Amino acid sequence: MLLPAPRILAAELLKVRKRWLPYVLFLVMVIGAAAHIWLLGYANWANENSAFDAFFRNETLRTFVLPHALPALLQSGQFWGSMLVGILTASVVGTEYSWGTARQALLRGQTRSEYLTLKLIGLVMVASVGLLAALGIGILFSLMASALVGEEVGGSISFGAAILMVLRTGYTIIPYGLLAFALTTVSRSTTLGVAGSVIFVVLEAIMIAVLSGIGTAWSETARAFLPSHNVAAILSANRIEGGEFFSLALRGQLLPVSLPDPAVAALVLALYCLVFLAISYAVFQRRDLQ
Partner 1 sequence: MATADPDVVLRTVGLSKRYRRLLAVQDLSLEVRRGRVYGFLGPNGAGKTTTISIILGLIAPSGGHVEMHGLDTRTHLSEALHRTGAILEGQAYYPDLTAYDNLRVWAALSESVTAARIDEVLELVGLRDRARDKMRTYSQGMKQRLLLAGSLLHDPELIVLDEPTNGLDPAGMREFRNLIRELAKTGKTVFVSSHLLGEVEQMCDDVGIVKEGRLLTEESVSALRRRGEALELRVTDVERAVQVLEALDWVAGVTRADGRLVVDAPLERAADLSRALAEQHIYLHELRRREGSLEEFFLEVTGDAPAGA
Binding site for partner 1 (CB under 8 A): 1, 3-4, 7-8, 10-11, 14-15, 18-19, 99-101, 103-111, 286, 288-290
Cβ proximity to partner 1: between 19 and 140 the closer is 19
CA distance 164 to 167: 5
φ, ψ of residue 243 in degrees (nearest 5): 90, 165
Sign for the CA dihedral angle at 269, 258, 83, 97 comes to positive
CA distance 116 to 131: 22
Cβ proximity to partner 1: between 118 and 198 the closer is 118
Query: Least CB distance from residue 286 to partner 1, whole Å?
Result: 7
CA distance 117 to 104: 16
Cβ proximity to partner 1: between 3 and 164 the closer is 3
Query: Least CB distance from residue 3 to partner 1, whole Å?
Result: 6
Q: Which DSSP category does 247 fall into?
A: S
Cβ proximity to partner 1: between 3 and 237 the closer is 3
Query: Least CB distance from residue 132 to partner 1, whole Å?
Result: 25
Query: Least CB distance from residue 102 to partner 1, whole Å?
Result: 9
CA distance 286 to 284: 5
Cβ proximity to partner 1: between 50 and 98 the closer is 98
Query: Least CB distance from residue 290 to partner 1, whole Å?
Result: 5
- Tell which residue, 4, 25, 17, has the closest CA to residue 173: 25
Pair 200, 179: CB distance under 8 Å: yes
CA distance 211 to 220: 7
Query: Least CB distance from residue 26 to partner 1, whole Å?
Result: 17
Cβ proximity to partner 1: between 181 and 284 the closer is 284
Sign for the CA dihedral angle at 89, 90, 93, 96 comes to negative
